[in-house]
Amino acid sequence: MGSDPDVLDLREIGAVLREGWRWVVGGLLVGLLGAALVLILVRPRYEATALVLLRNTPVPSAGVLDMVGGSQTLGGLSSLLGADAGFETEVAILSSRSIAGAVVESLGLQADVIEPGGWTPRRLFATAHYPEDLEEGVYEFERSGDGYLVRGPRTRSEVRAGETVVIGGAVVTLAGSGLPSSFSIELRDFSDAVTGVNESLDVEQAGGTVAELEYRTTSPQLAAEIPNALVAEYMARRRTTGRGINQQRYAFLSEHVDSLSLELERATVALREHQEASGVVDPEASTEAEVEQLMLLRADGEELAIEARALREKLEPRPGIELNAREVAAYPALFANPAINQLLARLTTIDSELAELLERRTEEDPDVRRLVGESQAIEDQIIGMARSYHQSIEQQLQEVSVELDGSHAAIAALPAQVERSFRLERDVDRLAMTLAALETQLVQVRLAAIAELGDVRQIDQAEVPKRVAFPQPMLTLAIGLLAGLFVGTAGALTGGSLGRRVKSVGQVERMTGLPAVSFDPPAPLLIGELGERKSVLVVPVGAGARAGPVAMRIAETAALRGERVVLADWTRDVRILPSGSDSSPDRHGAGSTVDDRRDADDRPEGADYTLHRRAGPDLPATIARSEIEGLEESGSFVVSLLPNIKQPVSVALLSKERTAVLVAPAGARRTELVAAAGILKQLGVPLAGVVVHNGFDDGAGATA
């Protein structure tokens, strides 16, 4: 009985859990049922995230600190504080009802699609107009024939796909195709819709001046569209109502830059078209080229004219002078022709042969006539070739004349073309220089605008989520099981510790803070931490507590340890023992009437003790105190078996000089056991512990 009450015995906890297994199983079933109900009844919610960069202007106090040298001393603390304050301001604006209201209007969020899941109002309605104050409620659309039957608060009508219907004050037009067989929507007034958007929106600082927008809703499309629309609306307002003088200058310069860019593009196109049409890219180079071309054409024309005139003189018939082919062939241009040279060589050969024949023959000779005819044919051929060459020269001369006329016309048009080219180039240069200057100013003003009011840029677009954020089936079931296990375990432990009746030794120790043992009749029962005390009070607690066997076992154990033991029974009236007077102790042995089912022969050797019995609970307190003091003064180890703690004799024997042992049955009332231990502690009676027994057969001990 010397266990430490502060030590947590896992075996005892296990025993309590085994006893309360119904609590654990019930908790698991309840947790599983709760998780199943969440999965069935709770509409799936999707989550999307967008990131937006917020740059803020340092506060004016930073400049003041710079002037007095405080910025270096404080390490720019004021700028950091100003940046944090500015960031919080921008986050507050981003999550304001004003911006949420604009998004509600643009996306038609006063209508919430309940069934089927994942649909948005814009998929169901081609057009929709929602007044701020409408009839709230759920409106159901059920297919009926080729249309839909609409039911809702004070609404019952029919509508076909593509037609318009009024529900709760909202005017909606159904989509022409792709509608489900049935669907239901919930209409909310404008204020509630804005509140719903703000409640589903979570804006946090992701790091630095980057804000993270998380939005949860039942539609995956809206989960991505709403944060993107919030950022777009916020950025639009920052560029309009929230801009300063530099941003206004930036907008003004941006418009002029765009206008000048268009003018420059038109001027460039006009210059290119003029250059393509006129062929003038560089006016000076074009003028020089035209003049050089004209001079070359004139030279070519003069040469061709001289040659044509010379050939004409050679080929024109003159009175009394026959056309000589050999003279014509001697013309330099013709003489250089290899074909004519071959013909001339043939004529020379014919002339030699003809001269030889004429020396021997007459002119009527066939060979002579043949050679004369061949010579005439060659001369005609030479004359024909000369005439052809002359015609080609004349044709070239005509072509050169045409080119000369064109060159003269081109040169005549050059001044106007050059003038237009210079004018177009001047416009392009002027516009380009002006545009470059404005773009430089635009960059400077843009930097000033960034430093003035900060800049906003969306880093990540919210994307349509593919998975449900809540409830996730496996996670929900796991949480339900864990919660059920926790509740069941807590119920089992609480029921075991705070139950109305005692069920285990560990439960007794937790309730009383005292060592406790389970009574085992054959085993010795030791009492620890007695010190100089030689008296033990065995106190029964609760109905059914049988302290007699426990007192006997304590007495036997003390006797085995060499003590002279007296077992004093104060529980009931007893006859005077046969061996002598009622006050003298008798040895416990054969023929005794002690309440022990075992015979004397069944006891271990050396476990004998003396039994002392007096009148029961009605014994006067003075007599009881006197007798126990006499027993204690005799030097014996006194084991006193007391009646109920509320009996006068028990109260009389309680003392700081005597150690008490509580005896309780399994199933004793918790309040009785705690009350008994509390009374003894208040009286200062040392408590050795508690003995718990599971019950004994009738007659096995004294009954309190």
Q: Which of these ranges, 211-225, 417-431, 492-506, has the smallest mean pLDDT?
A: 492-506
Question: Residue 209 has what pLDDT?
Answer: 87
Which spans in 279-331 are helix H? 283-315, 325-329
**Paired residues of 155 in beta bridges:** 152
Q: What angle do CA 572, 578, 581 make, to 5 degrees?
A: 75
pLDDT band at 436 (very low <50, low <70, confident <90, very high): very high
Q: Which residues pair with residue 99 across a beta bridge?
A: none
Alpha helix stretches (DSSP H) within 337-365: 338-360
pLDDT of residue 536: 92
pLDDT per residue as tens digits for the range 621-673: 788 888 888 888 887 889 989 988 888 888 888 888 889 999 998 888 878 88
What SS3 state is found at 195? helix
- Answer for the pair 616, 571: CB distance below 8 angstroms, yes or no: yes
Q: Which of 34, 40, 46 is nearest to 477 (CA)?
A: 34
Q: What is the pLDDT of residues 171-200, one digit of tens each?
A: 999 998 989 999 999 999 999 999 999 999
Gap between the Cα atoms of 515 and 700, Å rounded: 25
Q: Where do the domains of the chain lie? A: 87-218, 283-452, 501-693
Tens digit of pLDDT for each residue in 308-341? 777 776 677 666 666 667 767 766 766 667 777 7
CA distances from 552 to 148, 559, 607, 610, 641 (A): 91, 10, 10, 11, 9
Cite the DSSP H helix spans in 454-498. 473-498
Read off the tokens for 326. 């050999």
Q: Which of 40-44, 78-82, 413-417 has the lowest mean pLDDT?
A: 78-82
The amino acid that residue 493 corresponds to is L
Residue that wins the pLDDT comparison between 681 and 276: 681
**Is a pLDDT exceeding 80 seen at residue 581?**
no
Task: Write out pLDDT tens, residues 501-556.
Answer: 777 787 788 778 888 888 888 888 887 666 677 889 999 998 888 888 898 888 88
The pLDDT assigned to 616 comes to: 59
Q: What is the reported pLDDT for 419? A: 67
Give pLDDT, residue 130: 92
Nearest to 298 by CA among 398, 411, 401: 401
Query: Considering the chain, what percentage of its residues have pLDDT values greater than 90?
Result: 20
Q: What is the DSSP annotation of 123-185?
A: HHEEEEE--SS---EEEEEEEETTEEEEEETTEEEEEETT-EEEETTEEEEE-SS---SEEEE
Sequence-distant (≥ 6) Cβ neighbours of residue 573 within 8 angstroms: 615, 616
Residue 480 has pLDDT above 80, yes or no: yes
Residue 352: partners with Cβ closer than 8 Å, 6 or more residues away: none
pLDDT at 90: 86
Helix (H, G, I), strand (E, B) or coil at 309: helix
**In this structure, which amino acid lies at residue 55?**
R
Query: CB-based burial of residue 210 (10 Å sphere; 0-12 exposed, 13-18 middle, 19+ buried)?
Result: middle
Helix 338-360 / helix 366-453 crossing angle, nearest 10 deg: 180
Class of the domain covering 501-693: alpha beta
pLDDT tens for 585-629 read: 443 332 233 344 444 445 666 677 888 876 555 678 788 888 888
Nearest to 286 by CA among 424, 427, 403, 422: 422
Which is nearest to 167 in space by CA: 181, 180, 148? Answer: 148
Tokens, residue 396 = 């070239």
0.75 exceeded by the pTM? no
pLDDT greater at residue 472 or residue 105: 105
Q: Note the pLDDT of residue 79.
A: 46
Q: What per-residue confidence (pLDDT) applies to 160?
A: 92
